[in-house]
Amino acid sequence: MAEEQRVILEYADKIDPKKADDYIKVGGYKGLEKARSMDRKALIDEVKKSGLRGRGGAGFNAGMKWSFVPIKDEDRYVVCNFDEGEPGTYKDRIICEKNAQALLEGMAICGAAIASKQGYIYCRGEYPFVVKMLREAIKSAKDSGALGDFDIEVRMGAGAYVCGEETALIESIEGHRGEPRFKPPFPGVAGLWAQPTVVNNVETFACLPYIMTNGADWFAGIGAAKYPGTKVLTLTGDVENATYFEVPTNYMLRDVVYKLGGGVKGGKKFKAVQVGGTSGAFIPEQNLDTQIDFDSMSAIGAALGSGAVFVMDETRDIVDIVTRISKFFEHESCGKCNPCREGTWRCREIMEKINAGKASQKDIDNLMLLSRVMKNAALCGLGQAAPIPIDSTLEHFGYEYSRKIV
């Protein structure tokens, strides 16, 4: 695909991701070698300079995150967030299935930066086949000597969406209920087993070998200046090409839908696209001419998030879709904080009432109030983001609500 710019997925389907030797033949583990030859601080500075920002959704500068880790006489951990629970997102699975060794190398590079010898990959519970593959990949990398004394263990989730939140993920690895912790302290200071921990997304780690091999300046020169590099997007919904793509981050959203996606399926008209997974905002036609990078998406009140792109054609009932989404959040709320536990429940009730044509404007007002309080006061990102689909559709597709109101 000419429109793509493949960095992480350059050798997709050309090498066996399980085999370290295959990866080494195409230049793999050179970045780790370089990282280990560098001074720790210089390594972190290099990553900072590359401008690499978190690919899981929060968009935090990776090198900056690492620099918060205190190096004292205690264990430190590198944790890979491979929970990938955001509906419509499957980029991390693709990265692992196509280039698992890059993830392992990236984690070891992070290990070199924070002087950690132990990594954990927290894998989505619905991916048992990937866990198997990752374990083989780790064994191959260990056997080849490429990872050196850096060990990686794969832990499996059990299907909770909230465990994609980094502190809930840590709780889960520790064997507790998957509930987020309050922050601060951030994981960089007190994470896994209360030790300093870096949690990064699969894609973030997988970028690192290429940054180390080709240099920070090379990476910083790709895509959008403030969110450089490439991004793996996963297309779902009413598009012709519902598959994955790797593009530079200054790629336009309209091109994602019409060029990569091949346009709306069956020649129908476009209605909306939801980017970043189920907690993402619904984006109307008039905002399609936006770059997909973190800041450009934020500027239109949306979020790049995990890079999921869910396209809806003209026949889709927005209120019905949002009702289903509210049911999802009701199901996935962990139940720890009041605004989310109770709020997602009542959001679903009100959405169902609206969807059934039994609601009045007063219900919409209550929904907006509830949404505002959840955003303002919920403990973690789940509760704060759960009302975003509601708010964004009320803003851009208000008429779909109005016609169902009595």
Partner 1 sequence: MLKLTINGQEIEVPKGTMLLSACQQAGADIPTFCYDPDLKLAGSCRMCVVEVEGRRNLLASCVTPCENNMVVSTESDRTTEARKVILELLLARHKVECMTCEKVGMCKLQDYCYRYGVKDSRFAGEKGHFAMEDPNPFIERDYDKCIMCTRCVRACEEITGAQAINVKERGHHAKISTIFDGKLADSTCVFCGQCIMVCPVGALTSKVSMGKGRSMEYDRVLTTCTYCGTGCTLELNVKDDQVVGVTSNRDATYSPVNKGALCVKGRFGWDFIHSPERLTTPLIKENGQFRPASWEEAMDFAANKLKAIKEKDGPDSIAMFSSARVTNEENYLAQKMMRAAIGTNNVDHCARL
Which residues form the interface with partner 1 (CB under 8 A)? 160, 177, 182, 184, 330-339, 341-346, 349-350, 366, 369-370, 372-373, 375-379, 384
* Choice between 109 and 337, CB closer to partner 1: 337
* Choice between 1 and 369, CB closer to partner 1: 369
DSSP string, 317-348: -HHHHHHHHHHHHHHH--S-SHHHHHHHHHHH
* Choice between 99 and 355, CB closer to partner 1: 355
In terms of Cα–Cα distance, which of 398, 372, 52, 378 is closest to 206?
52
Token readout for 166 is 């980094």
Least Å distance, CB 189 to partner 1, is 12
Least Å distance, CB 388 to partner 1, is 14
Least Å distance, CB 200 to partner 1, is 23
Least Å distance, CB 228 to partner 1, is 25
Least Å distance, CB 191 to partner 1, is 16
Token readout for 393 is 């559709």
Token readout for 377 is 């006061």
Token readout for 208 is 């690192």
* Choice between 164 and 228, CB closer to partner 1: 164
For residues 222 and 249, is the Cβ–Cβ distance under 8 A?
A: yes
User: Reduced to 3 states, what is the DSSP secondary structure of residue 138?
Assistant: helix
* Choice between 320 and 349, CB closer to partner 1: 349
Residue with structure tokens 């190096």?
71
Q: Phi/psi at 42 (nearest 5 deg)?
A: -65, -35
* Choice between 25 and 177, CB closer to partner 1: 177
User: Reduced to 3 states, what is the DSSP secondary structure of residue 202?
Assistant: helix
Least Å distance, CB 338 to partner 1, is 5
Q: Tell me if the bond preceding 184 is cis, omega within 30° of 0.
A: yes
DSSP string, 158-221: -S-GGGGSHHHHHHHHTTS-S-PPPSSSPTTTS-GGGS-EEEEEHHHHHHHHHHHHH-HHHHHT
Cα separation values, 312 from 272, 352, 402, Å: 5, 20, 20
* Choice between 92 and 166, CB closer to partner 1: 166
Least Å distance, CB 367 to partner 1, is 10
Pairing of the two strands 197-201 and 308-313: unpaired
How many CB atoms within 10 Å of residue 372? 12
- The Cα–Cα gap between 261 and 146 comes to 38
What single-letter DSSP state applies at residue 108? H
Least Å distance, CB 181 to partner 1, is 8
* Choice between 119 and 196, CB closer to partner 1: 196
